[in-house]
Structure 1
Amino acid sequence: MSLAVSSTSQASYINAPLTDWIKNGHTDLQWYTTISVGTPPRNFTVLIDTGSHNLILPEINCTTCPSSQRQFDPTASSTFSWSALGESNPRFSTGGDTVPLAEPQGAQCRWAVDDVSMQGLTAPSFTFLLCHEEDEAMTTQPGIDGILGLGLNGTQPESFQYALYNAALLSSGVFILYMPSGKFKGGQLVMGTKDTSKLEVETVWLSLNRELSATHSQWTMNMQTIFINGQQLVVHSPNTTSSSSAKTPYPQSLVQALDTGTSFIMAPDNATAAALYAQISPKIYQIDPVGTWGCSCKDMEAIVKSGAELTFLLGYDSDETQMNVTIPSSVFNLGPYPGTDDICQAVVNNWQDGVFYNGIGLWELGSPMLKNYVTAWDGLGLRVGFAPLHVSASVHSSTGSVAAPTARRS
């Protein structure tokens, strides 16, 4: 699929190819691309991460980084300088693999300044993080050197796409992600498209939660409810015990982050995940203390073949447009749980200690959901667009499609 974009005489756009990091031969984890840093420029592969804001790279003297990671040498670039911002220790609550982290992982870094380019377009004197020590979760991604955060506008230092846009190098602050399943080819990151109607498919725009997105600088969105195989998820009513039979439809909640850097779906707490899986199959159970769920691989394949679908109704209750965003059964199985051959992991995990905002559950929607749509990210307008993912046999190695988004207009 080719994403058509516009350009102007004053500004341009980026159309960068994305490569899929695949686990177990079939599980899509994350997507990465290539950037160049310094003078003369040196290439690095970076994970595309809408759940963070900064470019993070390993420094040449990194004590915990594997030799397979390309590391940046500040002394080899004539345009490099250290930033007056000093040190920073970024932390991540989810990692690149399918299993939740037992505790946050991160790195010991310093702020640096240098020229950073993608597809020939350069952000001069861009501020990023160089790390001299990284935790294990940041060093086990094969072939990936660093992270390119594509967080919301307004954070300081600003994300790469806004550095380009604010320097009048991009036509707009919108970027588009096309992250097809690993069995297809041709993933793309497009920055600077001004006219989203130029996509070859219709885009449904959903507003972000403006208050929380601005406060936490995340792609945060309201969730109305959840459906499993077309039936609304039911949970135990408030102020009742888990043994009580009193149940109620799943209430409004929040997506704290639409996150391409997370390879699963994260439920707010154990009780919500338990209710969800009870409605899918009694064979699924929690398989470790950190909130991972699964069952025998034989049973998991049967669940996948049954056509189990998980649908989130996203959008403000006061908005004209809401949308059903579906995770199809084809991505429900994340593959064998690490260290086992016969236990397979399901797509939804849960936070160990429960994550809530004013009593409202916080979800994290990662790549298993996002890869099923072409997504347009408008941080200036505080909205995200979803378009149906059509895969053409004339462009890709195989054929297939995902159903168009269902928009509900009140």
Structure 2
Amino acid sequence: MLRPSSLGLFLALGQSLLSAQAGPQTIQLQSRTAPPAATQKRRGLSPENIPLVDFFRGTDLQWFGNITVGTPPQTLTVIFDTGSSILAIPSTLCDESCDNQTKFDPTKSSTFVDGGTIETEFFLNRFVSLLRQNYQNPNPGFLGVGVDPVREFEGTSNYDYVLHSASDVISVGGLTASATRFFLITTQSDGWALDPFDGIQGMSARAMGFFGSLISQGLPSLFSLYLTPQAIGNAEMTIGGIDTTKFKGDLIYASLPAFTTTSWSLISPQFFVNGKSTNALKASRHVVFDSGTSNIVFTSQIANELYALISPDIVPHDAEPGSYGIACDKIDTLPAVIDMTFTAQDGTPFNLTIPSSELNVGPFDDDPTICQTLINAVEDVPALVGGSLLKHYYSVWDVGNQRLGFAAV
């Protein structure tokens, strides 16, 4: 089942054609092996490797790790989410809606400071509502997160938060930021009950909160992600550096668009499926990279174009608008290699590839004979890719230089 996670802060991105460039160089995917642990020389604020756990329900959904808040430190688990920009955690101020999660207790922290404000209630009704709200009204304070399967795009609210502002000491690994602003969850809707993690630590393209504080202390202004399939394990985030033991060859860097605010996006002039493209797939478009999202999201036009190059048997699944499916006994035989072309900082085109193995997301609840496919359709938003691509690459999120880097694993 699709579990679209954090869908970050989108801009109203115009579409302009880029000139076609011949000969894109695909970063070859190779079999993963668990490399030896990296060693880091400690010098001032040195990089820290943070182990991550894979939330797996038939497919890889999100990756989360530990964070501590307060004095003495209280440990919670969070998604390190490139699609949002704030830290939000459950608290003892929360009602019974947070009972399945670890709650931070501000009364037990000697460094806690009450922010004194109740933030706007965030109506994350459904996947499409969240996307449209962020797309039309980009706001660095908005928490863009939704982590249950796509069920409907209409209906009553199922993904709401009410947040209370605060500040306290925040630590990840051996890195500590004092007097850091964050948010306490005081109530949340039922859509969050399934999740094995507690909260969300935003890691947007503009350093804020915890990460911004560490940078001001001298930590290099980048982080790296090694998101692995469950079968491989040993996933990690490196804050402030790059773990060179986790990839092969050289990193290829691409610059974020000049007008980027908080979203991690790159411009792609062309998509391919199994080496083929169409006129619609050759149009320039922005692609947002979101570490907290499992599937990929395009408009229905692009989704239909991509699926037409895979199989005519992939059709919309009416019970879950925006999703598509095919008979489960057919899906694993389909070639479905999706290449997205980007331009490196040296002007050279390169491809990022989602392999055929990612096409099958798992059976639908309402009909287990039909399997959901990777691509979902939502109108009027930029393209979005998540873990289905990122877990096949080592990725570097360079805030200081406003660029993304990728290398084969």
TM-score band, normalised by shorter chain: 0.7 to 0.9
Equivalent-residue separation in structure 2 for 1:148 and 1:173 (angstroms): 16
User: What does residue 41 of structure 1 align with?
Assistant: 73
Alignment partner of 1:384 is 2:409: no
Q: Secondary structure at the match of 1:226?
A: strand
Aligned pair partner of 1:292 in 311, 320, 323: 323
Alignment partner of 1:181 is 2:234: no
Equivalent-residue separation in structure 1 for 2:37 and 2:171 (angstroms): 21
User: What does residue 302 of structure 1 align with?
Assistant: 333
User: What does residue 16 of structure 1 align with?
Assistant: 50
Distance 1:6 1:209, change over 3 A: farther
Aligned pair partner of 1:113 in 152, 155, 167: 167
Provide, for residues 15-65 of structure 1, a one-character-per-residue CA deviation record: whole Å limited to 9, x for no partner.
1101101012xx100100011111111111111211001111012132252
Contact 2:45 2:175 (C-alpha < 8 Å) held by counterparts: no
Equivalent-residue separation in structure 2 for 1:319 and 1:136 (angstroms): 48
Equivalent-residue separation in structure 2 for 1:259 and 1:183 (angstroms): 22
Equivalent-residue separation in structure 1 for 2:267 and 2:172 (angstroms): 33
Alignment of 1:195-344 (within 5 A): 200-201=247-248, 202-211=250-259, 213-214=260-261, 217-235=262-280, 249-255=281-287, 257-267=288-298, 269-288=299-318, 289-303=320-334, 307-315=335-343, 320-344=347-371
User: What does residue 192 of structure 1 align with?
Assistant: 240
Equivalent-residue separation in structure 1 for 2:331 and 2:360 (angstroms): 7
Equivalent-residue separation in structure 2 for 1:207 and 1:3 (angstroms): 29
Aligned-partner residue type, residue 337 of structure 2? E
Unmatched runs of 5 consecutive residues or more in structure 1: 236-248, 357-361, 390-410
User: What does residue 146 of structure 1 align with?
Assistant: 199
Aligned-partner residue type, residue 354 of structure 2? I
Relative contact order: is structure 1 or structure 2 higher (C-alpha 8 Å, sep ≥ 6)? 2
Provide, for residues 142-185 of structure 1, a one-character-per-residue CA deviation record: whole Å limited to 9, x for no partner.
x211111111225xxx14222211123x2x01101001111112
Aligned pair partner of 2:85 in 35, 53, 56: 53
Provide, for residues 125-144 of structure 1, a one-character-per-residue CA deviation record: whole Å limited to 9, x for no partner.
11111011113333321x21
How many corresponding residue pairs? 351
- 1:369 CA drift (Å): 0.8
Q: What TM-score do the two structures reach when normalised by structure 2?
A: 0.80
Distance 1:347 1:98, change over 3 A: farther
User: What does residue 96 of structure 1 align with?
Assistant: 147
- 1:83 CA drift (Å): 1.9
Aligned-partner residue type, residue 344 of structure 1? C
Contact 1:5 1:198 (C-alpha < 8 Å) held by counterparts: no
User: What does residue 215 of structure 2 align with?
Assistant: 165
The farther-off stretch of 184-193 and 294-303 is 294-303
Alignment partner of 1:77 is 2:109: yes
Q: Secondary structure at the match of 2:308?
A: helix
Unmatched runs of 5 consecutive residues or more in structure 2: 1-34, 125-129, 132-144
Q: Secondary structure at the match of 1:210?
A: coil
Distance 1:220 1:328, change over 3 A: same
Distance 1:2 1:188, change over 3 A: farther
Provide, for residues 162-214 of structure 1, a one-character-per-residue CA deviation record: whole Å limited to 9, x for no partner.
2211123x2x0110100111111210110111x67676531100111121x12
Aligned pair partner of 1:375 in 371, 378, 395: 395
Distance 1:181 1:312, change over 3 A: same
Q: What TM-score do the two structures reach when normalised by structure 1?
A: 0.80
Q: Secondary structure at the match of 2:269?
A: strand
Aligned-partner residue type, residue 48 of structure 1? F
Q: Secondary structure at the match of 1:277?
A: helix
Distance 1:371 1:101, change over 3 A: farther
Contact 1:100 1:291 (C-alpha < 8 Å) held by counterparts: no
Equivalent-residue separation in structure 2 for 1:326 and 1:233 (angstroms): 17
Aligned-partner residue type, residue 67 of structure 2? I
Equivalent-residue separation in structure 1 for 2:178 and 2:328 (angstroms): 50
User: What does residue 21 of structure 2 align with?
Assistant: none
Aligned-partner residue type, residue 175 of structure 2? L
Aligned-partner residue type, residue 10 of structure 1? G
Contact 1:13 1:191 (C-alpha < 8 Å) held by counterparts: yes
Equivalent-residue separation in structure 1 for 2:333 and 2:239 (angstroms): 40
Contact 1:37 1:114 (C-alpha < 8 Å) held by counterparts: yes
Distance 1:20 1:222, change over 3 A: same
Equivalent-residue separation in structure 1 for 2:284 and 2:387 (angstroms): 22
Distance 1:76 1:367, change over 3 A: same
Q: Secondary structure at the match of 1:96?
A: coil
Contact 2:51 2:65 (C-alpha < 8 Å) held by counterparts: yes
User: What does residue 402 of structure 1 align with?
Assistant: none
Provide, for residues 386-410 of structure 1, a one-character-per-residue CA deviation record: whole Å limited to 9, x for no partner.
0101xxxxxxxxxxxxxxxxxxxxx
- 1:321 CA drift (Å): 2.8
More strand by share: 1
Aligned-partner residue type, residue 147 of structure 2? G
Equivalent-residue separation in structure 1 for 2:193 and 2:179 (angstroms): 27
